[in-house]
Structure 1
Amino acid sequence: MRKVVILSGAGISAESGIKTFRDSDGLWENHDVTEVASPEGWRRNRELVLEFYNQRRRQLHEVQPNDAHKLLAELEKYFEVQIITQNIDDLHERAGSSNVLHLHGELFKSCSCNNKRLIYEQKGDIKIGDKAEDGAQLRPFIVWFGEDVPMMTEAMKITKEADIFLVIGTSLQVYPAAGLLQDIKDDCLLIVINPDDSMSYGKRAVVIKETATKGMKLLFDKLVNMA
């Protein structure tokens, strides 16, 4: 069975109603990203950071996977499928995808601010005073700017095994995730779904200049025929 590896980003979740990481003015929900997505921001104002992610978590309860998520899950009937996502939501899992690697953490998890290996399910709010088993304050299980991306090594390994590598919902502006394209095999088929026609992915890429949902509807039967 051929292996399809999917790199997904904010664009696929945006179609379910989740705001993308940065608006055109460089802000996220009216906050400078360094206020709410960096170790420095956490040290300055823990309450602000916790409330910011509490709001994101509440919103995640209210949205549903879209057709793009569902079609990616459907591919598992025809291929060995691995999703590498830059998104912190669980929409891939809710759509039925069984192999999802989250590069930047997960909104429905928390961890000790002193030990990121102490991880907990977190469907509700995190409050000041909520402690991990080591006595440290709980924080969102999110990779912030300036922090290591521990899942990159595994993501690189998965990427090197791909027969088909599909990029969807990301303009590949965020590193180190964008560097995964350098790890695909020479004979790997590279497909990109992105409505932004200002991006260049090299001559080898098959580019579908559509949104995630429309692009997947156009691509799905073609992929199945390759199985």
Structure 2
Amino acid sequence: MSNADVLSAVAELAGSAQRVAVLTGAGMSAESGISTFRDAQTGLWSTFEPADLASPDGWARDRNLVWGWYQWRAELVRRSQPNAGHLALTEWQARTHLDIATQNVDDLHERAGSTVMSHVHGSLFDPRCTECDVHSHPEPEPVDEYADRVTPPLCPYCGGDMRPGAVWFGESLPEDQWRAAVEAVESADLVVVVGTSGVVFPFAGLPAMARSAGASVVEINPVETEISDMADLRWRTTAANGLPALVAAL
């Protein structure tokens, strides 16, 4: 099928769906210039192993290093802007019941004006206390590009160290966020999978759950992925190109 034919077929599915779930991965934010985890390991950070920066053991060894790394990543996100794909989802969400579940730890969906049902892998902007597990949202800290260590702020409730809100290697997903994502795909008529490689589980299993529950699945990705065979329609385009075209066609 040509891209025009795929767009027409996707728009037909989207137009008839009463409930839509959109699953987004790194490709959703790539056109906003958001680096992946490993791509962000440049400069000061290039000498560190991922486990030093994003694991419970790394946190236990050097909390200031881990907090500094996540403050740097948050600063990279703050310097970026939502792209046309994010904005299109906001417009689509205003028209119909549309749930967004994302692997991304950035806040570009929210800054575009969308409501996100689930950040399955956590968020850079939702730190929580290591002692009482309360979530808090301190004011952004100035980032020194020449310093790799930053002291974590203290919990305003119990005085414990705040930790980054992103899920680390070896950790379980936040149960409430995962449950919300599963509920979204199992109750949807249409599931649109945007910019995810389909290699990170359990998120990569959501399209199969959707199919089992009777939903149609559409993949929007410029390349073949591990979940392409789960999709009823595969649209080889990017988020920033495909989503605006789809919303305009509805």
TM over 0.5: yes
Runs of 4+ in 1 over 3 A off after TM superposition: none
- Are 2:141 and 1:125 equivalent residues in the alignment? yes
Normalization by structure 1: what TM-score?
0.88
What is the rounded CA distance, in whole Å, between the counterparts of 1:203 and 1:72 in structure 2?
Answer: 22
Cα deviation, residue 22, structure 1 = 3.2
Structure 1 match to 2:14: none
Which residue identity does 1:173 align to in structure 2? Answer: V
Structure 2 match to 1:171: 197
Q: Deviations over 1:123-164 (max 9, x none)?
A: 413942621122211111111111111221221112100111
Structure 2 match to 1:182: 208
Structure 1 match to 2:110: 93
**Alignment partner for residue 122 of structure 2, among 105, 108, 114?**
105
What is the rounded CA distance, in whole Å, between the counterparts of 2:199 and 2:97 in structure 1?
Answer: 27
What is the rounded CA distance, in whole Å, between the counterparts of 1:99 and 1:198 in structure 2?
Answer: 24
**Alignment partner for residue 14 of structure 1, among 18, 24, 30?**
30
Contact 2:22 2:101 in 1 (8 A): yes
- Are 2:218 and 1:191 equivalent residues in the alignment? yes
Structure 1 match to 2:170: 146
- Are 2:188 and 1:162 equivalent residues in the alignment? yes
What is the rounded CA distance, in whole Å, between the counterparts of 2:216 and 2:207 in structure 1?
Answer: 11
Normalization by structure 2: what TM-score?
0.80
Gaps of 5+ in 2: 1-16, 143-149
Cα deviation, residue 185, structure 1 = 4.5
> Percent identity among equivalent residues?
36
Gaps of 5+ in 1: none
Does the C-alpha gap of structure 1 residues 121 and 157 become closer, same or farther in structure 2, counting only changes over 3 Å?
A: same
Contact 1:165 1:184 in 2 (8 A): yes
What is the rounded CA distance, in whole Å, between the counterparts of 1:172 and 1:157 in structure 2?
Answer: 19
Contact 2:128 2:164 in 1 (8 A): yes
Structure showing the higher helix proportion among its residues = 2
Contact 1:71 1:216 in 2 (8 A): yes
Q: Deviations over 1:85-137 (max 9, x none)?
A: 11111110111112431111121222111233x00013413942621122211
Cα deviation, residue 182, structure 1 = 2.4
What is the rounded CA distance, in whole Å, between the counterparts of 2:75 and 2:53 in structure 1?
Answer: 16
Structure number, greater radius of gyration: 2
Which residue identity does 2:163 align to in structure 1? Answer: R
Structure 1 match to 2:97: 80
Contact 2:211 2:217 in 1 (8 A): no
Cα deviation, residue 204, structure 1 = 4.5
Instruction: Give the match's secondary structure for 1:81.
Output: strand
Structure showing the higher strand proportion among its residues = 1
What is the rounded CA distance, in whole Å, between the counterparts of 1:200 and 1:120 in structure 2?
Answer: 35
RMSD: 2.1
Does the C-alpha gap of structure 1 residues 17 and 220 become closer, same or farther in structure 2, counting only changes over 3 Å?
A: same
Contact 1:10 1:21 in 2 (8 A): no
Cα deviation, residue 17, structure 1 = 1.1
What is the rounded CA distance, in whole Å, between the counterparts of 2:152 and 2:114 in structure 1?
Answer: 35
